[in-house]
Amino acid sequence: MALPNGYYLQPSSAGKIALVNRRGRLVLPGPIAAYRVSGVIVAGALGEVSQAARTCSNDCPFEAQPDTRYFILNTSSGEVMTGLDELEWRAGLRRFEVPSTFRIVTPVLALR
């Protein structure tokens, strides 16, 4: 799945999703359970795709757990913030002026 500035989501043979740059270098090993793009910002949640999401034929809303960890990638600068709790993640989204309506989804790519 192509992302801004040459980044992309890459599934492994085990069905886990990683974030890779245009040179094929691993930026975030994941696994990535959910994501969304806002301008040059890619943000999402780390972890396994839930069994419930595997039944969706399109992107499914992501249901976070109390221990969910999040990430933010600024594709313009290459800055990656990872291992964030929800409060840190939301603060980071505000810093990058991501709209408050921003909601991450489980990618269909993960369901292959």
CA 35, 40, 66, 64 dihedral sign is negative
pLDDT in tens, 39-74: 999 999 998 876 666 666 567 778 888 899 999 999
Percent pLDDT > 90 in the chain is: 64
DSSP E strands in 1-112: the ranges are 8-11, 17-20, 26-28, 32-38, 41-46, 60-61, 69-74, 80-84, 105-106
For residue 106, what pLDDT is reported?
Answer: 87
**Domain span holding position 67:** 4-111
**CB-facing half-sphere around the CA of 82: CA atoms within 13 A:** 15
What is the value of pTM for the model shown? 0.88
Q: For residue 62, with 0-12 CB atoms within 10 Å meaning exposed, 13-18 middle and 19 or more buried, which class applies?
A: buried
Total domain count for the chain?
1
